């Protein structure tokens, strides 16, 4: 079925293993092949999976990069020629997967999420990246083309680099490491963003500040949902001892990436505590502002209460009120008004209520 769906629920009723793309539709699918060993490096674009089958009979490492998942026929061809289970192919096309590792006798299937932080909208973007590790073959499936793996390609261009001297499992580690590095970039952006919000929170909190805090809190919830399974994935890779596709030397490198994910996970937890405290600070700041406003209004009300009382007394229409016929009654009354106001202002000032 050569069509794309937006939600996994739209696949309801289809049999297991149905190859249907689920996710955002990007440009047409492209296939790039990088074939290398310690002495040579080839990079070219191919039109179909059949064009790279001859590399199965060589002793080189072949990295096949599929950008865009719109063309389901390419995924189907990989399953047929490399004996990939139909459910794995279905998961590759469904871009709503959680990070996970599935071990088979002759290949490993890895799902990860690449992240980017859009500072203008305070939103985290996610891209599913699937990897297939086979003997001397690595497939990467991406939703859209970008420069995420460009540092890996640059390292491959150096003949003396480790990636040129090690096997396909080491290439898989390098790709995973490149994805994890984006989490550190996002972490730095989060640090700067939270610092800006904290400064705004202390200097001039507003309704916009609260909206920003809520957006960051929402994105952190989704981020934790990605990091938690990613941590389990790398833990499984680090401790995997049954798969013949992973060399003992490479497992040590996977342990290093696992440590990186632990650091990212701890940072995400600290961000959650920071956001909670920022919400408390915001509520306290708004409450303090309200208290200051009420205090000023109360002070003015306290000043005018005795003045209103005096004005009310002499505003009564009784005939026999001696002060009403007094020649200097009006200026004396104003003197009393001013005197009472000044006295109360001085009193409030000494009490530090103003």
Give pLDDT tens digits for 160-219: 888 988 889 999 999 999 999 999 988 888 888 888 888 888 888 888 888 888 888 888
**Strand partners for 43:** 34
Please state the rounded mean pLDDT for residues 282-286. Answer: 83
Please state the rounded mean pLDDT for residues 19-36. Answer: 82
Q: What is the 3-state secondary structure (H, E, C) of 101-135?
A: EEECCCCEEEEEEEEEEECCCCEEEEEEEEEEEEC
Residue 254's nearest CA partner among 276, 234, 274, 233 is 234
Amino acid 10: pLDDT:
64
Give pLDDT tens digits for 91-109: 999 888 889 999 998 899 9
Amino acid 329: pLDDT:
81
Strand spans (E) along the chain? 4-5, 21-22, 30-36, 41-46, 61-67, 100-103, 108-118, 123-134, 137-142
* Burial class of 188 by CB neighbour count within 10 A (0 to 12, 13 to 18, 19+): exposed
68 φ/ψ sector (left φ>0, alpha ψ -120 to 50, else beta): left
Amino acid 129: pLDDT:
93
Cβ atoms 25, 31 nearer than 8 A: no
Query: At residue 266, does pLDDT exceed 60?
Result: yes
Please state, for a pLDDT cut of 70, what percent of the chain lies above it.
95
Q: How far apart are CA 72 and CA 109, in angstroms?
A: 18
Say which DSSP state 30 is in: E
Query: At residue 294, does pLDDT exceed 60?
Result: yes
Amino acid 1: pLDDT:
44
Query: At residue 41, does pLDDT exceed 60?
Result: yes
Cβ atoms 19, 3 nearer than 8 A: no
Q: In what order do the strands lie in the sheet with 108-118?
A: 41-46, 30-36, 61-67, 137-142, 123-134, 108-118, 100-103
Please state the rounded mean pLDDT for residues 271-297. Answer: 84
Which residue is it, tokens 């005939």? 319
Domains of the chain: 30-67+97-284 (3.30.460.20), 292-350 (1.20.58.340)
Say which DSSP state 94 is in: B
- ∠ CA 273-276-281, rounded to 5°: 125
Please state, for a pLDDT cut of 90, what percent of the chain lies above it.
28
Which residue is it, tokens 């492209």? 30
Q: How far apart are CA 187 and CA 274, in angstroms?
A: 14
83 φ/ψ sector (left φ>0, alpha ψ -120 to 50, else beta): left
Give pLDDT tens digits for 212-251: 888 888 888 888 888 888 888 888 887 776 778 888 888 8
Give pLDDT tens digits for 320-334: 777 777 888 888 888
How does the average pLDDT of the chain come out, rounded?
86
**Continuous segment of H or E residues that includes residue 176:** helix 168-203
Instruction: Cite the DSSP H helix spans in 39-85.
Output: 72-82
Please state the rounded mean pLDDT for residues 8-32. Answer: 75
Amino acid 6: pLDDT:
65
User: Exposed e or buried b for every residue in 19-58, given b needs 16+ CB within 10 A?
Assistant: bbbbbeeeeebbbbbbbbeeeebeeeeeeebeebeebeee
Query: At residue 69, does pLDDT exceed 80?
Result: yes
Q: How far apart are CA 275 and CA 177, in angstroms?
A: 28
Give pLDDT tens digits for 113-147: 999 887 777 788 889 999 999 999 999 999 888 88
Q: How far apart are CA 245 and CA 136, in angstroms?
A: 9
Residue 257's nearest CA partner among 187, 185, 172 is 172
């Amino acid at each position: 079925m050569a069509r794309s769906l937006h939600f996994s629920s739209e696949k309801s009723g289809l049999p297991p293993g149905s190859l249907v793309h689920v996710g955002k539709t990007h440009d047409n699918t492209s296939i790039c092949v990088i074939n290398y060993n310690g002495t040579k490096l080839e990079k070219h674009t191919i039109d179909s999976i059949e064009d790279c089958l001859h590399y199965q009979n060589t002793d080189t490492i072949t990295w096949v990069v599929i950008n865009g998942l719109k063309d389901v026929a390419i995924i189907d061809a990989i399953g047929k020629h490399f004996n990939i289970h139909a459910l794995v192919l279905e998961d590759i096309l469904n871009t709503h997967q959680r990070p996970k590792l599935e071990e088979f006798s002759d290949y490993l299937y890895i799902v990860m999420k690449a992240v980017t932080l859009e500072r203008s909208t305070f939103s985290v973007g996610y891209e599913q990246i699937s990897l297939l590790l086979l003997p001397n073959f690595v497939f990467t499936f991406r939703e859209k083309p970008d420069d995420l793996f460009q540092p890996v390609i640059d390292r491959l261009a150096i003949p003396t680099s480790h990636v040129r001297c090690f096997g396909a499992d080491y290439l898989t580690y390098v790709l995973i490491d490149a994805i994890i590095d984006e989490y550190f970039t996002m972490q730095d952006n989060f640090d700067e963003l939270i610092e800006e919000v904290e400064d705004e929170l202390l200097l001039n909190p507003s309704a916009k500040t609260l909206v920003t805090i809520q957006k960051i809190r929402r994105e952190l919830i989704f981020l934790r949902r990605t990091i938690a399974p990613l941590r389990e994935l790398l833990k499984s890779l680090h401790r995997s001892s049954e798969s013949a596709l992973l060399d003992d030397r490479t497992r040590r490198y996977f342990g290093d990436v696992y440590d990186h994910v632990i650091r990212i996970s701890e940072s995400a937890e600290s961000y959650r505590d920071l956001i909670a405290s920022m919400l408390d600070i915001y509520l306290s700041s708004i409450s303090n502002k309200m208290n200051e406003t009420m205090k000023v209004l109360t002070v003015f009300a306290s000043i005018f209460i005795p003045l209103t009382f005096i004005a009310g007394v002499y505003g009564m229409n009784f005939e026999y009120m001696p002060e009403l016929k007094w020649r200097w009654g009006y200026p004396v009354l104003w003197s009393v008004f001013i005197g009472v106001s000044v006295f109360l202002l001085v009193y409030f000032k000494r009490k530090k209520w103003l």
